[in-house]
Structure 1
Amino acid sequence: MTSENRPASWLDSDTFRQIVAGTPLISIDLIVRNEQGQVLLGQRLNRPAQGYWFVPGGRVRKDERLDEAFIRLTQEELGVQLVLSDARFLGPFEHFYNDNFSGSDFSTHYVVLGYEMTLNTDDLSQLPAEQHGAYRWFDVASLLQSEVVHSHTKLYFLHRT
């Protein structure tokens, strides 16, 4: 995304680097299941977690209410606007990475709010491709065993009934 078509609420790269280097970020992860109970994962294009299969999601912006962030993120990440009442809150999670969006010279720390929902879509090719190069449905047992699914994604399914 170029600076010309970037939302006004986005920070320039240098300012964002300082923030990521010095403070945790707040984000929402979308744990999306289909009617068969499979989980939607996308293969990450960007750091952190680049190359791994991960649940969709994204950062909450400054002055953005959680319900507004949820609507925006479902549109940006899933191509459909959902509201918080469409999901079940799983709780807060912490994600720590050794790298950051711009390299590996400092770490990234996220405080993540996990939300689970059901969404049925057969045509994964229509999902947004800005953050994920490919999508696929995983059954929980397979994603827990996979070396290409990120450990932070696996945490959503460990110790749950």
Structure 2
Amino acid sequence: MWLSNELFRSVVDSTPLISIDLVLLNSKGECLLGQRLNRPAQGNWFVPGGRILKNETLDAAFSRLTREELGKVSARSDALLLGVYEHFYADSVFAAPGQGPDTHYVVLAYQLVMAEDDLLHPPHAQHDAYRWWPQAEMQACAQVHDNTRAYLDALR
């Protein structure tokens, strides 16, 4: 169920959002990150992911998000739950810090490992660039968002 901007702004202002983050690894152990176009975390490198919609099961949300964020449908049963995380942002999709609602996410982070022959076609609606990052480089780069770096400790 999609919400009008007015109603979604009220939701962002009033409640945490529940989302799934996709921590995607290739056969070299590198992680796929996109550079965010939109608030929150605009301009930072971040894992793909998105909100779970009202009345959407976790399995359905996972399939939708992998299709929308990676261009390839994957099943939640093929992923490993890394944990539950909280993300707090001073801004939101609606406004810069201090000019509107802040954003609070409760995030289910899942690790997916791609086979060497898997082809991805990530869209550019949320991210303007994508690249595979070695984990040591992710840890050291200030442009990789802290919330994304937090997943590194849980990777297997």
Letter in 2 for 1:74: T
Structure 1 counterpart of 2:112: 117
Structure 2 counterpart of 1:60: 52
Contact 2:82 2:154 in 1 (8 A): no
- Alpha-carbon shift at residue 85 of structure 1 (Å): 1.1
Q: For residues 23 and 159 of structure 1, what CA distance do their matches in structure 2 show?
A: 27
Q: For residues 10 and 112 of structure 1, what CA distance do their matches in structure 2 show?
A: 19
TM-score (norm: length of structure 1): 0.90
Secondary structure of 1:157 counterpart: helix
Residue of 141, 145, 150 corresponding to 1:155: 150
Q: For residues 58 and 8 of structure 2, what CA distance do their matches in structure 1 show?
A: 20
1:29 aligns with 2:21: yes
- 1:2-41 deviation digits (Å, cap 9, x = unpaired): xxxxxxx211101000000000000000000000000000
Compared with structure 1, are the counterparts of its residues 18 and 46 closer, same or farther at alpha carbon in structure 2 (3 Å cutoff)?
Answer: same
- Alpha-carbon shift at residue 158 of structure 1 (Å): 3.2
Structure 1 counterpart of 2:4: 12
- Runs of 4+ aligned residues of structure 1 deviating over 2 Å after TM superposition are 120-124, 158-161
Secondary structure of 2:8 counterpart: helix
CA-based RMSD = 1.6
Structure 2 counterpart of 1:135: 130
Secondary structure of 1:130 counterpart: coil
Contact 2:94 2:101 in 1 (8 A): no
- Alpha-carbon shift at residue 159 of structure 1 (Å): 6.5
- Alpha-carbon shift at residue 121 of structure 1 (Å): 6.5
TM-score (norm: length of structure 2): 0.92
- Alpha-carbon shift at residue 127 of structure 1 (Å): 1.7
Moved more, 98-107 or 60-69: 98-107
Q: Which runs of 5+ in 1 are unaligned?
A: 1-8
Q: For residues 76 and 160 of structure 1, what CA distance do their matches in structure 2 show?
A: 23
Q: For residues 131 and 118 of structure 2, what CA distance do their matches in structure 1 show?
A: 10
Q: For residues 103 and 111 of structure 2, what CA distance do their matches in structure 1 show?
A: 24
Contact 2:88 2:105 in 1 (8 A): yes
- 1:98-127 deviation digits (Å, cap 9, x = unpaired): 000110322100000000011247876x32
Q: For residues 160 and 133 of structure 1, what CA distance do their matches in structure 2 show?
A: 25
1:43 aligns with 2:38: no
Letter in 1 for 2:151: Y
Contact 2:111 2:155 in 1 (8 A): no
